[in-house]
Amino acid sequence: MGGHAKTVLRIGWLLACVALLVWFFASEASDIHVVFGYGLALLAFPIGVAVLWIWGAFALLLHNAFELDLPRAANGVLWALVVIAGDWQWFRLLPRLLARRRAGPAQP
């Protein structure tokens, strides 16, 4: 994939991520956190699911051990973690794996 196409895809992906974050904070719906979680998982699948599981385990630990609930603003941190992981997955790791596959097996 050419450099220009990769840049356009990356900008589009980042705009979708930002739109999801803005929608989350602007919405008053009681179940927006569910849409937010599924949206993050979809945009950064499969690594986004792993980040969400780790975040969920952390939130559950805080709740069970200290009876603390994460504030809604903490979802901004979750969003940043998923976006960083998704960016690495889609725009760094995947192109390297595809380039390696195109190059074929290494000659001894």
Sequence spans of domains, the chain: 3-99
The alpha carbon of 78 is separated from its chain's Cα centroid by a whole number of angstroms, namely 8
H or E element: which one contains 95? helix 94-103
Q: Which two tokens mark 7?
A: 């840049």
Instruction: Record the pTM.
Output: 0.86
Query: Quick check: 75 and 37 in contact, CB under 8 A?
Result: no
Give me the count of residues in the chain: 108
pLDDT in tens, the chain (108 residues): 677 888 999 999 999 999 999 999 999 998 998 999 999 999 999 999 999 999 999 999 998 998 888 888 899 999 999 999 999 999 999 999 999 888 877 666
Q: State the pLDDT at residue 68.
A: 81
